Structure 1
Amino acid sequence: MQKPLVHEKTPLKVVMVAIVAALGGFLFGFDSAVINGAVDAVQQQFGLGSVLLGFTVSCALLGAMIGAWLSGPLADRQGRVRAMLVASVLFTLSAVGSGLAFGVTDLIIWRFIGGIGVGMASVLAPAYIAEVSPAHSRGRLGSLQQLAIVLGIFVALLTDAFLAAVAGGAGEPMWFGLEAWRWMFLAETVPAVLYGLLALQVPESPRYLVAKDELVGAAKVLRDVVGLNGKQAVQDKIQAIRETIHSEERQGLKDLMGGKGWLLPIVWIGIFLSVFQQFVGINVIFYYSTSLWRSVGFNESDSFSITVITSVTNIVVTVVAIMLVDKVGRKPLLVAGSIGMLLSLGVMALCFSQAIGTGEDVTLPQPWGVVALIAANLFVVSFGATWGPVVWVLLGEMFPNRIRAVALSVAAAAQWLANFAITTTFPFLADIDLTLAYGLYAFFALLSLVFVWKFVPETKGKELEAM
């Protein structure tokens, strides 16, 4: 019997360059979460109302949408590595500018700039990893993006907690007279600069090099990094890449169009995968979990502990996903995840229907509070082991070579727009009824199940040139 592809050896060099690319995902997670510890202090410092405070938090998501949209064309013109360097510069500028902001206007501007970097990283990392990875390990290596994201979220939460504890509060002064919340933002300069320095050390994508007719460089990457053995194997691979790339044309939105001006079906699949990943409400757990648990009877200390435990849970299940994605396949994991999210979100909606009181006085009687807590963590497990990493893997590999970068940009932009929509509407929905909010997310989980079952192709073990 033929030896399964998933048991083939993955070259160490390809693992290392995938880790470097995934550092963009770490910054993605860090930048998204670091605002959590600074929110109250920023509100007090600049005297912000709830609407302006909410926009200060969510404006980075609008920047991410733009960054995702622009990164594909930039990566095709200048290369994946140069685009990573641009993202590194944007992260660094945002960290320094946000930390030294003298008013809410420039804080919003710097947060928006950082969001552009986040959006770029959300496209560049999965595209680059998919293009340098062997087919048999592409799922595991692509999942490093999601692992890096959740690690970035976790490190940001720990950094915020540490700085607030040292200063005696996020609004208290620390080194050089700067408040702790400013150092929370400034701390991002360390991974941002490191990302740029390491990006200078990784090779360009072989598919980009072939598209630019730099065949010698492409052959070297295929041998030294991807691990192809033999001159003929390298030449065959280059020929396969050339057959799927129109090197004389720049990718653009017109390349995503099928008949009658409609987007190609595969592009719609990517867009809907991105939208469903956000519409199930996962970021409500990470953006609002502390205030959510406080609102239903847990004290501040317990709420923060629950948030950290949830973040750790997300890391653990992402590791599980990395172990399973090339063995089980992409589609079965998504189906299982949709079922798990549907059930856990349904239980959460049921729990909150038992809430007593209104507004800030709402509480959950026992045992409903504990059941809601368990259901929330089962939701994180269901998402983190499936939809979290698998969608990024699929977006990096499911599109044909000739449209990959620009199609991924469109799908990622849709994801950030969906994220913005969910993030900004949750407080409004929560004011009406938390049962309504989680019931709506459960409905989207049901739709995601039907969508995956009917439309999402399996890409396990396929070469990118066969997509």
Structure 2
Amino acid sequence: MADVRDEALAEEGSSLKVVMIASVAAVGGFLFGFDTAVINGAVGALQTTFQASDAAIGLSVSSALIGSAIGAFLGGQLADRLGRIRTMVVASVLFSVSAVGSGLAFGLVDFSLWRAVGGVAVGIASVIAPAYIAEIAPAHLRGRLGSLQQLAIVSGIFAALLVDYGIAAGAGGSAENPFWLGLAAWRWMLLSELPPAILYGIGALMIPESPRYLVAKHRDDKAREVLRSIIGRRAEAKVEEIRQSLSSEHTGRFSDLKGSFGLLPIVWVGIGLSVFQQFVGINVIFYYSSVLWQAVGFSERDSLAITVITSVTNILTTFIAIATVDRFGRRPLLIVGSVGMALTLGAMAYLFGTAGMDATGKPVLEGTSGTIALVAANLYVFCFGLSWGPVVWVLLGEMFNNRIRGRALALAGSAQWVANFLVSATFPSLRTAGLGLAYGLYTAAAMASLVFVLLFIRETKGKELEDME
């Protein structure tokens, strides 16, 4: 019986092993989520500590996104030059440096610079994790394993918000109060990123290099060894497949992306996916939600608690996406998500747009309006977590062929962070102009995303990476 099992393993490889490998790579996604969300609990304290305007805070919070755009642009080149594993280690170091620097910052400019360093790490992680997971995963598991990136991101968001809530509660309910060693609570919120950043680097050194990268570097024996542990006896044939897909190709360059209207159509589609994922306003929920709910009457502690609940919703929904993405496909989930987001965002736009104002000009949701807004916000997160959250990462990791994957992912990733920056930097001003207007714009983006999917997205379920055009 043992011989039969061993033979089956040799034939099929180890699914458990590839899941474990992909999970380690996805720690970059965890840090991606943690880094971008941990600022949530510190925004109000930052504004008070450094006596900053809404515009200055918006730019400061968004400085990480500028770094992310740079990191995403460089990430593909680093991945192709240094390899996927060494690039993960570089990201780990940058995450660690940013955590210490931003937590001990002396002023808003200093803080913004350190956050930008962390943003570079986030950008690198946003490119390297989906690329590596797509390249290491068998086709029948690729959708589910690719969704681990989003699960890791939302888990990182949850962990960051839970840490923010715990530290704020331990400091008497305010991030401005001292916590440990005389440092303000908001500083400890930012310093809390250091342990997972170090673990990410250690974990990266314990997983194998991408077999597609190894073949590209003429290390076929090592690639065969990695593939044998994943897909068993088919490793030799897969190495030959990869070699043939790369044999007539030169080292990847950005010039390879040139095509109609400046870029290849598939690259424009990747950029469109990235931009719409951000333009629907999801990160407003996670960057500014505590401030948002305070603006409509909730206390700082209750606002943080609501944000934690919302992040749990996001995690649970991502599990549904993992279970269904390889069954129903990528395109149907995107369509369902776009429709759901348009409806829920439209409801929030109406509620905030028709809300009364208090003496300070802040919206007041009276009666059941506050409850309906909370339900709509969580349903919106549900729709995003089921579709555009995980599916975009899956598609970006698998939709490009071997020749252009690294560079195309870099460009699409950069576009995503530029879009994220635009949404995050403009929200404080939009909040002042009216939350109804803000959510109205996000509703329009959700409606446009549906049209985009119907016109331009092709199904990739079950296709091998070597079969991508």
SS state of the match for residue 354, structure 2?
A: coil
Q: Residue 463 of structure 2 aligns with which residue?
A: 462
The answer as to 2:78 corresponding to 1:53 is no
Q: Residue 232 of structure 2 aligns with which residue?
A: 229
Q: Residue 160 of structure 1 aligns with which residue?
A: 164
Q: Residue 5 of structure 1 aligns with which residue?
A: none
The answer as to 2:277 corresponding to 1:277 is yes
8 Å CA contact 1:211, 1:247 repeated in 2: no
Change (3 A) 1:39 1:294: closer
Amino acid of the residue matched to residue 213 of structure 1?
H
Shift of 1:35: 1.3
8 Å CA contact 1:46, 1:104 repeated in 2: yes
Q: Residue 405 of structure 1 aligns with which residue?
A: 406
Q: Residue 9 of structure 2 aligns with which residue?
A: none
Question: What CA deviation, in whole Å up to 9, does each residue of 1:361-381 have, x standing for no partner?
Answer: 321233322222211111111
Q: Residue 380 of structure 1 aligns with which residue?
A: 381
Matches within 5 A, 1:80-119: 80-119=84-123
8 Å CA contact 2:352, 2:363 repeated in 1: no
Q: Residue 198 of structure 1 aligns with which residue?
A: 203
SS state of the match for residue 169, structure 2?
A: helix
Residues in 1 aligned to 2:136 and 2:69: alpha-carbon distance in whole angstroms: 25
Q: Residue 241 of structure 1 aligns with which residue?
A: 242
8 Å CA contact 2:40, 2:287 repeated in 1: yes
Question: What CA deviation, in whole Å up to 9, does each residue of 1:382-437 have, x standing for no partner?
Answer: 00111100000000000001100110110011010001111111222222232222
Shift of 1:301: 3.7
TM-score normalised by structure 1 residue count: 0.94
Q: Which moved more, 1:310-319 or 1:351-360?
A: 351-360
Q: Residue 445 of structure 2 aligns with which residue?
A: 444
Shift of 1:10: 6.0
Change (3 A) 1:290 1:459: same
Change (3 A) 1:437 1:398: same
Residues in 2 aligned to 1:353 and 1:161: alpha-carbon distance in whole angstroms: 29
Shift of 1:351: 1.6
Question: What CA deviation, in whole Å up to 9, does each residue of 1:179-216 have, x standing for no partner?
Answer: 22222222111000000001000100000000001000
Q: Residue 180 of structure 1 aligns with which residue?
A: 185
Residues in 2 aligned to 1:36 and 1:99: alpha-carbon distance in whole angstroms: 14
Q: Which moved more, 1:107-116 or 1:96-105?
A: 96-105
Residues in 2 aligned to 1:172 and 1:187: alpha-carbon distance in whole angstroms: 17
Change (3 A) 1:294 1:78: same
Amino acid of the residue matched to residue 101 of structure 2?
G
Shift of 1:37: 1.8
Q: Residue 207 of structure 1 aligns with which residue?
A: 212
Shift of 1:177: 3.0
Matches within 5 A, 1:304-383: 304-357=304-357, 360-383=361-384
Residues in 2 aligned to 1:304 and 1:189: alpha-carbon distance in whole angstroms: 22
* Consecutive unaligned residues in structure 2, runs of 5 or more: 1-11
Shift of 1:235: 2.2
Residues in 1 aligned to 2:57 and 2:461: alpha-carbon distance in whole angstroms: 43
Shift of 1:247: 7.8
Matches within 5 A, 1:259-278: 259=260, 262-278=262-278
Residues in 1 aligned to 2:296 and 2:103: alpha-carbon distance in whole angstroms: 33
Change (3 A) 1:406 1:241: same
Change (3 A) 1:299 1:218: same
Change (3 A) 1:94 1:209: same
8 Å CA contact 2:39, 2:287 repeated in 1: no
Shift of 1:446: 1.2
SS state of the match for residue 364, structure 2?
A: coil
Shift of 1:47: 2.8
Change (3 A) 1:51 1:435: closer
8 Å CA contact 2:29, 2:149 repeated in 1: yes
Shift of 1:442: 1.2
Shift of 1:298: 3.2
Shift of 1:101: 1.8
The percentage of counterpart residues that share the same residue type is 61
Q: Which moved more, 1:293-302 or 1:250-259?
A: 293-302
8 Å CA contact 1:212, 1:247 repeated in 2: no
Residues in 2 aligned to 1:348 and 1:102: alpha-carbon distance in whole angstroms: 38
Aligned length: 455
Shift of 1:87: 0.2
* Consecutive unaligned residues in structure 1, runs of 5 or more: 1-7
8 Å CA contact 1:139, 1:325 repeated in 2: yes
Change (3 A) 1:190 1:295: same
Residues in 2 aligned to 1:223 and 1:133: alpha-carbon distance in whole angstroms: 12
Q: Which moved more, 1:349-358 or 1:87-96?
A: 349-358
8 Å CA contact 1:356, 1:363 repeated in 2: yes
Matches within 5 A, 1:290-309: 290-309=290-309
The answer as to 2:143 corresponding to 1:142 is no
Residues in 1 aligned to 2:180 and 2:300: alpha-carbon distance in whole angstroms: 27
SS state of the match for residue 403, structure 2?
A: helix
Change (3 A) 1:247 1:62: farther
Residues in 1 aligned to 2:348 and 2:194: alpha-carbon distance in whole angstroms: 38
Residues in 2 aligned to 1:9 and 1:316: alpha-carbon distance in whole angstroms: 29
Residues in 1 aligned to 2:106 and 2:436: alpha-carbon distance in whole angstroms: 40
Residues in 2 aligned to 1:170 and 1:284: alpha-carbon distance in whole angstroms: 20
Shift of 1:170: 2.3
SS state of the match for residue 244, structure 1?
A: helix
8 Å CA contact 1:354, 1:365 repeated in 2: no
Change (3 A) 1:100 1:303: closer
The answer as to 2:138 corresponding to 1:128 is no
SS state of the match for residue 400, structure 2?
A: coil
Q: Residue 423 of structure 1 aligns with which residue?
A: 424
